Amino acid sequence: MQVGATMALLTPLLADFTTDGLSLVGEVTAEDLGLTGDDAVVRGPLAVSLDLTNVEGLVAVTGVLEGTILRECVRCLKEYEDPLAFSVRAAFIPEPKSAPRHSKRIDPRKARAEVVEVEPEEEPDDQYQYQGNQLELAPMLREHVILSAPMQPLCSDDCLGLCARCGKNLNEGPCQCAAEPPIPTFRVVQDIKRKTGGSSVS
Ligand SMILES: [Zn+2]
Ligand SMILES: [Zn+2]
């Protein structure tokens, strides 16, 4: 729908904000976000719907990112499609200007400005910086996609996994191991002894 508008979608200008903020709706590709195959295997485009507000330079971003990620199930090792729909929350602050030089003569106005400057020591994880009058949303969205990956991806909560003996994917049906009635081990050993004993002694 917004062919060719991807760059504008991911790099909005502060000048484009109205008093109500800015709404961004469209589709982006994994490439647009800088996602590599190591980060996540994305199938198809990702749908982005974001609302941005600018309050004196602090830009708050909320919205939703939707798409499909290919993951590998930790139990059955099969690739499966993981539909994604997660909320995006981030704040963008202006990149602090280069550290002021400490001169001996302090202009009172400058000194006051220094006090006001916020030390970005303890930034919350979802806080990003922007330069000039343009935001770069791609790195923020990329992080959201990466962080959405579960520690233990499962194709389904009740994935049966692989048979520990024959390695068959048990989601595709039972294997022969399960079909065979469990034979007590001592009987098997006895049978083998009887057979081998009988044949070797005679
Ligand atoms: Zn599985
Ligand atoms: Zn088996």
pLDDT in tens, 130-188: 999 999 999 999 999 999 899 999 999 999 999 999 999 999 999 988 656 655 555 55
Region 85-96: mean pLDDT is 92
pLDDT single digits (tens) 93-107: 998 876 555 544 545
Distance 2 CA to ligand 1 centre (A): 36
- Looking at residue 188, what is its pLDDT? 55
Helix/strand/coil percent split, the chain, to 5: 25, 30, 45
Distance 5 CA to ligand 2 centre (A): 52
Ion ligand 1, residues whose Cβ is below 5 A away: 73, 75-76, 155, 159
The answer to whether 31 and 59 have CB atoms below 8 angstroms apart is: no
**Per-residue H/E/C for 118-164:** CCCCCCCCCEEEEECCECCCHHHHHHHHHHCCCCCCCCCCCCCCECC
Distance 177 CA to ligand 1 centre (A): 19
Q: What is the C-alpha separation between 85 and 66, in angstroms, rounded?
A: 4
- Whether the full predicted model's pTM is greater than 0.85, yes or no, is no
- Looking at residue 202, what is its pLDDT? 44
